[in-house]
Structure 1
């Protein structure tokens, strides 16, 4: 085993049923869809990746008359092999049950078990005898950034992403589409407080590194072979002050041009693949 971690009490993660309810307001079509299905995966690539990842699909909804390409044929074959109920609906009926505007005529309904604990991510890496590689998202509000970071983390063989419970995108159909289905393969922990979670990771022996444009240490000068969590902030504000104070160090990506910063998902990808490069050469 490459590393070992002590196991303090697991961080409490509120379930959706425990979260305070928001004031009632008129629901959009997509709000009504969430009332019908708590968790959906939508679009051909995302649904296909859900099946390939052996996610527990409860039902498959398909619009009547859609074009059957290779992806749809594979989706139906996998659904039939798993004895999953397939429902063929009018397009309007399917859209009423969809949470996105781009379902491409296919929606998979899953049980609402999208999240794991932080400790689950650590123990999964430990079971593979690998030092954890984790991204912690602090202040990321665009589901496309979440999806892009998830896609990079999955491609890099990383172990998971940690996101805050509030004021952040969750594992939604839109984020899954943006990840090209990578979120179906990647563990995601949803936590109450990012600074406390960073402190928890420090206790576990995971080095926590904040990406910051004003940091003195170049990202290539840090040893990323040990267990590592890369903390990524928003493009406007960066990593929050409290989160940065909890991190073991801050690292920067050199900027040679006129712009002051990179897109959050691009910054994360650069740091994640530096870890991949270092670990490959170990």
Structure 2
């Protein structure tokens, strides 16, 4: 039989003595004291996140390979206006702002100097940053070394727009947008609405352009004084406006009446602007008292939503002056 030990005829090998713990187990049972707070633990995720953000701010790039995927901007995230003319116009119009970002070694001109002066007078924080960071903040837009951070827009309720007209003792004029998804069109419509005496805009909560940096830029600051309301259901909101005594006129290329011949423009009114490609949606069209069109030359298939809104608002203003 192979092997040693009992019954093998050979003495078993003696085991070497086991080494002691040296008191390690006893000391481990004594405990290590109170657990330090989270911010003092280098492995804590919040501290790691803060350190990563700090590195990004210092180096101008993300340390994470997943940073190339731009996260979806939330409604409570700040917006940025880029460009010297848009920034100085926004500051002149007293657009709410948190910070003014200025590129390092910027080639200063009168617009930059005025922006810095207004920001200083209003107590707006001024930060000197790299052009790479400005590129990120403006999402690749043309910033010319200048960007203005604005807080999230505070939307009104659709009922507030009627109240504004009543408080001013004026006939209500409201502009509603159906399917307008370009924020530049929203900004242009806000500019025309302010020019022709509208009391506010109504936009759907979903599938619609919101008051973003692009809208602020195109509006040239008029969004600071133009109320914009969000409607959870545009069709239901239009129905409520009609119940409150307002007429609803839809603007669409397939309208049966030319806008100059509409007989409701001098009353309490909601003008609904459809998208450039699809026009008014079916449910919104059915919610209108009248659908009108703007006559255009056959060479042009349609008008930009911002241009169409400007024409409609001008025609409404002309009727009301008469």
Range of TM-score over shorter length: 0.7 to 0.9
**1:155-234 equivalent positions in 2, closer than 5 A:** 155-222=195-262, 223-234=264-275
Cα shift readout 1:202-244 (whole Å, capped 9, x = no counterpart): 1222211001223222211223122211101112221111011
Q: Is the 8 A contact 1:37 1:97 kept in 2?
A: no
Equivalent residue runs for 1:93-104 within 5 Å: 93-104=133-144
TM-score by length of 2: 0.71
Which 5+ residue runs of structure 1 have no aligned equivalent? 1-25
**Maintained 8 Å contact 1:235/1:261:** yes
Distance in 2 between residues matched to 1:131 and 1:52, nearest whole Å = 29
CA contact (8 A) 1:33 1:99 kept: no
Instruction: Please state if 1:245 is matched with 2:286.
Output: yes
Which structure's CA Rg is the greater one?
A: 2
Give the Cα–Cα distance (whole angstroms) in 2 for the partners of residues 279 and 35 of structure 1: 37
CA shift at 1:256, angstroms? 4.3
- The Cα offsets for residues 87-106 of structure 1, whole Å up to 9 and x where unpaired, read as 11121123233345122222
- Residue 106 of structure 2: aligned partner: 66
Which TM-score applies when normalising by structure 1? Answer: 0.80
Q: Deviations over 1:241-272 (max 9, x none)?
A: 10111112111222442444322222211110
User: d(CA) in 1 for partners of 2:272 and 2:94?
Assistant: 29
CA contact (8 A) 1:29 1:96 kept: no
Distance 1:114 1:41, change over 3 A: farther
**What is the root-mean-square deviation in Å for CA atoms of aligned residues?**
2.5
Give the C-alpha shift of residue 29 in structure 1.
Answer: 7.3
- Give deviations 1:143-188, integer Å, cap 9, x for gaps: 2322222222122232221111212221111222233333333221
Which structure ranks higher in relative contact order (CA pairs < 8 Å, sequence separation ≥ 6)? Answer: 1
Q: Kindly state the Cα deviation for residue 134 of structure 1 after the two structures are TM-superposed.
A: 1.9
Count the aligned residue pairs: 256
